[in-house]
Amino acid sequence: MPSPIRREITGFSNPTVKYLRSLRDKKHRKREAVFLAEGLRLLTDARECGHVPQMLVMATGRDPHPLIGALETAVAEAGGEVIVTSPDILSKITGKDNPQSVAGVFSEFDTSLASLDRGASKIWLVAQALRDPGNLGTMLRTGDAVGAGGLILIDDCADPFSVEAVRASMGAVFTQKIARANWDEFLPWLRGGNGQLVAASLRDAVPYRGAPYAAPCFVMVGNESQGLPETYEMACDLRVTMPMRGRADSLNAAVAAAVLAYEVLDGLEGERPLRT
């Protein structure tokens, strides 16, 4: 087993620090095809899912932890680099006041539709033009919880590899497949195989509760302010509506996706106890 070689960085102006900080910017992430994730639990989840960072950044002055040791070993075995730096510099890298003890630089995944195996899961989440990275991360987290296969990003969405999205995903960025496509690519791909496309809608919709969901079920939500374009809604196999008892006519996008996805999960699992 190769012994981890640590490189220590003490200066804010170090080129590696500049490189790491630049990864908070989408343009730089895209150019380098990497992204930044932080936190011992998240990096451990990643490792257990087979994702080892190219570069591991650890803060000095913390107690040793066996999980950090395991990460270091994995990175060294994979030929990656281990950086040790001050908590202040780590904080500057992640942009968080109370930084986690570790961060890692990961290679971006293949986000082509072709990389998805639609038969692998009963549920897939689809986000159209979602602009809030927190919402995307939350959808990834929900997808993990309902056993979805992944999240498909349609049209111009926020970056799922942004620090905010990765943070909100609570590690689900490593367990969920992520694909990106325009609507004109997505629809033919969907129709090239099995798949029921479902959206929350007010147009000739049936109650979401107990609707005839079928696997693989693609649960789609639209942009935070505009919702889904009408043509997209009309291309759905099933339009469902959720009760709206108040003044508002819509839910937060990530909330709508979750309420719907849990209903789909229940519907697809068939039997459920009768209410007494």
Whole-number Å distance between alpha carbons of 176 and 144? 6
Rg of the Cα atoms in the chain: 21
Binding positions for a copy of itself, 33-52, rule CB under 8 A? 45, 48-49
Distant-in-sequence, close-in-space partners of 167: CB < 8 Å, separation ≥ 6: 38, 39, 137
Q: Closest separation between CB of residue 6 and a copy of itself, Å? A: 29
Rounded Cα–Cα distance for residues 94 and 163 (Å)? 8
Q: Minimal distance in Å, beta carbon 260 to a copy of itself?
A: 10
Closest separation between CB of residue 36 and a copy of itself, Å?
Answer: 20
Give the shortest CB-142-to-a copy of itself separation in angstroms.
6
For position 259 contacting a copy of itself by CB under 8 A, the verdict is yes
Selection from 84, 75, 53, 63 nearest residue 3 by Cα: 75
Q: Which residues pair with 38 in a beta bridge?
A: 103
Smallest distance, a copy of itself to C-beta of residue 108, A:
20
| Other residues' Cβ atoms within 10 Å of the Cβ of residue 211 | 18
Near a copy of itself in 81-100, by CB under 8 A: none
Count CA atoms closer than 13 A to 47's CA, side-chain side. 25
**Residue 16 or 175: which CB sits closer to a copy of itself?**
175
**212 near a copy of itself, rule: CB under 8 A:** yes
Name which position in 175, 180, 197, 223 contacts a copy of itself (CB under 8 A): 175
Q: 241: closest CA among 217, 207, 264? A: 207
Query: What distance lies between CA 140 and its chain's CA centroid?
Result: 4
Question: Which of 15, 246 has the CB closer to a copy of itself?
Answer: 246
Closest distance of CB 245 from a copy of itself, Å: 3
In the bound state with a copy of itself, the residue whose beta carbon lies nearer, of 27 and 247, is 247
Half-sphere exposure of 69 (CA within 13 A, CB side): 4
Tell me, rounded to whole angstroms, the distance of Cα 38 from its chain centroid.
14
Binding to a copy of itself by residue 237, rule CB under 8 A?
A: no
What tokens appear for 208 in the block?
């979401």
* Full strand arrangement of the beta sheet holding 238-241: 177-181, 150-154, 123-128, 217-221, 196-200, 238-241, 206-207
Nearer to a copy of itself, 104 or 143 (CB): 143
Given the rule CB under 8 A, which of 57-65, 92-100, 229-237, 258-266 is the region that contacts a copy of itself?
258-266
Closer of 104 and 171 to a copy of itself (Cβ)? 171
Taking the complex as a whole, the smallest distance from the CB of residue 169 to a copy of itself amounts, in Å, to: 9
Separation between Cα atoms, residue 270 and residue 163, nearest integer Å: 38
The answer to whether residue 146 forms part of the interface with a copy of itself (CB under 8 A) is yes
| Interface ranges with a copy of itself (CB under 8 A) | 45, 48-49, 134, 138, 141-147, 168, 170-172, 175, 207, 209-210, 212, 242-248, 250-252, 254-255, 258-259, 262, 265-267, 272-276
